[in-house]
A and B are shown apart, each in its own frame.
Chain A
Amino acid sequence: MIGHTACVGGSVSADIVLNNLKNIERKPQNLVKALRVAQEVKGYLPAEVVEAAAKHVGVPYSRAFNVATFYHLFSIEPLGKYRVFVCMGTTCYLKGNKENLQYLKSLLNIKEGQHTSSDGLFTVEEMRCLGCCSHAPVIAVYMPNGARKVIGRATPEVIQKLIDELRKEARERGWVK
């Protein structure tokens, strides 16, 4: 009920992605589903993974690529271990997520126009709405294991604490020094 099914994180080969795709029925309508799984397993969608997914569901690579570049959940570029989404919905924007985003980016030393921190741990993205507007401003973290953590009433202090925790976790797991 709370938590999520664990997935393999990090740099996995296309074979493992293919293995995970096995449970998905081979029909074109499952393209989005297949890409979702691939994104979750691999962490991002490099060309060979998109191609594998396309082959699996039986659509041309061009169409799979077209879908992979359309949706916000997919990324064809490598992402950080932790994907931090800053909600930019009306309420969150009003309640200060604009400042939170700036703070987060400066905290992680992410420059304008970039999304991933130099140590490869965090990717900061803007999100449409998480549906927790009552507790605005909200940020969400997609953990490497696929679980999602939503943090309401975010302030710079809360963000600082969160990043410290995640950094600690990353160090414990040996992802960074």
Chain B
Amino acid sequence: MNRCCLKCWHKPPDNPCPNYVQCRIKGPLCHDDPECRELRARRLNELEFGRYGVKVRVAIASCTLAVGAAEVYEAIRDYVKESGLAIDISVVGCHGLDFIDPWIEVVRKGYPPAIYANVSPEEVEDIISRYLSGDVSKAFALRYRTGNAKGEFHVPTLDELVFWRKQVRLVSSNCGLINPESIEEYVVRGGYLGLARALRMRPEEVIEEIKLAKLRGRGGAGFPTWIKWKAVKDQVSDVKYVVANAEEGDPSAFSNRLLVESDPHILVEGMIIAGYAIGASKGYVFVGTEGDLAAERLKKAIEEAKKYGLLGENILGSGFAFDIEIVQDAGRYTSGEETALLEEIEGKRSTPRVRPPYPVTKGLWGKPTVINNVETLAHAAVILRDGWDRYATIGTEKSGGTKMVSVSGSIKRPGVYEVPIGTTIRTIIEDIAGGAPEGLKLKAVEVGGPAGGFLPVSEINIPLDYDTLPKLGVAMGSGVLVAVDEHKCMVDLARQFMAFFVSESCGKCVPCRVGTKTMLSILERISSGKGSEEDLELLKELGETLKDACLCALGNGAPIPVLSSIRYFKEEFSAHIREKRCPAGICPVSREVVRYEG
């Protein structure tokens, strides 16, 4: 199945065709043959609408599975089997609109593709039979209109919906649209074009392209990707490595998981490009403990890419060879730290290493290593596909492109949204995610994961980028936004964060190991109403020390939730300390008061 037609001579790895990818999309290129063209048209049609002209796409990803997508899938399968309808069922990833999970999409040639939200197994029959009779009025949204279906104009298209319109979907453009286990569907949508283009360039030109696109690491620190790549490229070594960090350790971060589960090939492509640019021949993907599904799909993607000659020896006739291995974490927050991650790949405890030497000079097994977040690598694939000029126009002056943000908490529309860097947090929280649910008011937004920090709602009018956020004492981190409503207690949250760090600290350096414990005991004292004003000063002093002195970024980030909540919500801490009451009624101090009054 890896040849486009009978005349195709692509035979990896001995005789690969350099134009293979382009040919799959625009072909046949090396000959003009009506038979081949027809074959191709038929194949494209089949990919879009299935073998019988009707296709049901069921979103299967960790998020949808948590709310019963497996049951919906089974219900559809049973219904199709029993009714004898000629319908293809296809698995797709998730497009990030998690508030409509579980969702399905029904497509039929000549009709508008319709997305159905919050589908229950019982509804399946009704949805499909109605759709087949030309009625889409029950749909949540349409991909586009055709004007043929009943009730079409009462249903919005995705582009008319604010949470879709305000996004710029570059890396997530395939999420929820293609079958993550089908390389065909990925290639048809422009996949591996970036790789094909990169392989025609010299490695330094690829790095230049990344530089001009102003791509910065999406893992949190925002380090310019090209500097990292160039540093490794300039190293003289027989072996170099590319490591993709898909261990999304930060609580409430789920954009990487969604990306890898929904479009594993974009990561594979990005890794091959990185490997080519730096001269590495081996890549590792480091998947988190919760990433079983991601690892499974990635494994399939790697196998398929090998079969198509896009991975392995002599990729597309360029002479470049690359291989990818998957390593799965055994569960530890520190595993997401870049040097700790290397330790775990080497089969040790995931504790951070002392830097320098940096991984770019001495990384995995002492060899130069590029470690990038999966989103960064996906962006690299997009840049090489579209060219830097288009990419650099999106985003801010200093950092180009988009960022996938995971929005959750007290919010109407939780999910993963891809927005240009520099979009204000208010736009994301209020316009895209719809603000607080009915009857609630937002108080704070946690920005950037546990090491990011809290911002009060009055401050969220700032752009989400790598340069502005640190000025307010928070960080971009992994692109997490958690909305906190008024009924939550900031002291309790700060305490919970510290408890998290205490249980996750690897214990290697003193400030993190002892400092987090000490901070936790102080916070527990405050939340139980036994705190004093001095405790706040002590917390600040300890916090500043941890920020400066810890061995790795995770330790440095540990006090930030506490520091930022003291900075912006001091009155809540004061209420616990002076008035011995918890305004939200959550901390143990207030329960006694409530019982006393009642």
Using a CB–CB cutoff of 8 Å, the interface residues on chain A facing chain B are 1-2, 4, 28-33, 35-36, 57, 59, 63, 66-67, 70-74, 88-95, 126, 128-136, 138, 140, 148, 150-153
Stretch with Cβ within 8 A of A (4 or more), from B63-71, B191-199, B535-543: B63-71
**What 0/1 readout, one digit per residue, does chain B (402-416) give for beta carbons within 8 Å of chain A?**
000010111000110
Q: Across the interface, which residues of B come within 8 angstroms of A126, CB to CB?
A: 503
Contacts A29-B347, A90-B482, A134-B63; is A2 near B248 (CB within 8 Å)? no
- B332 & A94 in contact (Cβ 8 Å cutoff): no
Interchain CB contact (< 8 A) of B62 among A33, A35, A95, A132: A132
Using CB atoms, name the residue of chain A closest to B349. A70
Contacts A36-B330, A70-B350; is A91 near B409 (CB within 8 Å)? yes
Q: Is the C-beta of B348 less than 8 angstroms from some C-beta in chain A?
A: yes
Q: Is the C-beta of B5 less than 8 angstroms from some C-beta in chain A?
A: no
Q: Which 6 A-B pairs have the closest CB atoms?
A: A89-B251, A134-B98, A152-B66, A71-B330, A72-B331, A31-B347
Q: Across the interface, which residues of B come within 8 angstroms of A132, CB to CB?
A: 62-63, 66, 254
**What 0/1 readout, one digit per residue, does chain B (427-463) give for beta carbons within 8 Å of chain A?**
0000000000000000000100010000000000000
- B349 & A67 in contact (Cβ 8 Å cutoff): yes
Using CB atoms, name the residue of chain A closest to B261. A131
Whole-angstrom distance between the Cβ of B328 and the nearest chain A Cβ = 7
- A91 & B482 in contact (Cβ 8 Å cutoff): yes
Q: Is the C-beta of B125 less than 8 angstroms from some C-beta in chain A?
A: no
- Give A59 to B506 CA distance when docked, in angstroms: 21
Name 13 extra pairs, CB < 8 A, besides A150-B66, A152-B66.
A28-B347, A30-B347, A32-B330, A57-B347, A66-B349, A71-B332, A72-B289, A73-B289, A74-B331, A128-B500, A129-B254, A134-B98, A135-B98
Q: Is the C-beta of B46 less than 8 angstroms from some C-beta in chain A?
A: no
Using CB atoms, name the residue of chain A closest to B258. A131
Using CB atoms, name the residue of chain B closest to A98. B496
Q: Is the C-beta of B346 less than 8 angstroms from some C-beta in chain A?
A: yes
**What 0/1 readout, one digit per residue, does chain B (484-498) give for beta carbons within 8 Å of chain A?**
100010000100110
- A94 & B330 in contact (Cβ 8 Å cutoff): no
- B63 & A135 in contact (Cβ 8 Å cutoff): yes
Whole-angstrom distance between the Cβ of B480 and the nearest chain A Cβ = 8
- A1 & B63 in contact (Cβ 8 Å cutoff): no
- A35 & B330 in contact (Cβ 8 Å cutoff): yes
Q: Is the C-beta of B418 less than 8 angstroms from some C-beta in chain A?
A: no
Q: Is the C-beta of B374 less than 8 angstroms from some C-beta in chain A?
A: no
- A131 & B62 in contact (Cβ 8 Å cutoff): yes
**What 0/1 readout, one digit per residue, does chain B (251-274) give for beta carbons within 8 Å of chain A?**
111100100000000000000000
Taking CB atoms and an 8 Å cut-off, the chain B residues in 272-298 that contact chain A are 288-292, 296
- A2 & B70 in contact (Cβ 8 Å cutoff): yes
Q: Is the C-beta of B56 less than 8 angstroms from some C-beta in chain A?
A: no
Contacts A63-B348, A131-B254, A134-B99; is A1 near B330 (CB within 8 Å)? no
- B65 & A150 in contact (Cβ 8 Å cutoff): yes
- A94 & B493 in contact (Cβ 8 Å cutoff): yes
Q: Is the C-beta of B249 less than 8 angstroms from some C-beta in chain A?
A: yes
Using CB atoms, name the residue of chain A closest to B181. A1
Q: Is the C-beta of B345 less than 8 angstroms from some C-beta in chain A?
A: yes
Q: Across the interface, which residues of A come within 8 angstroms of B345, CB to CB?
A: 29
Q: Across the interface, which residues of B come within 8 angstroms of A70, CB to CB?
A: 332, 349-350, 506
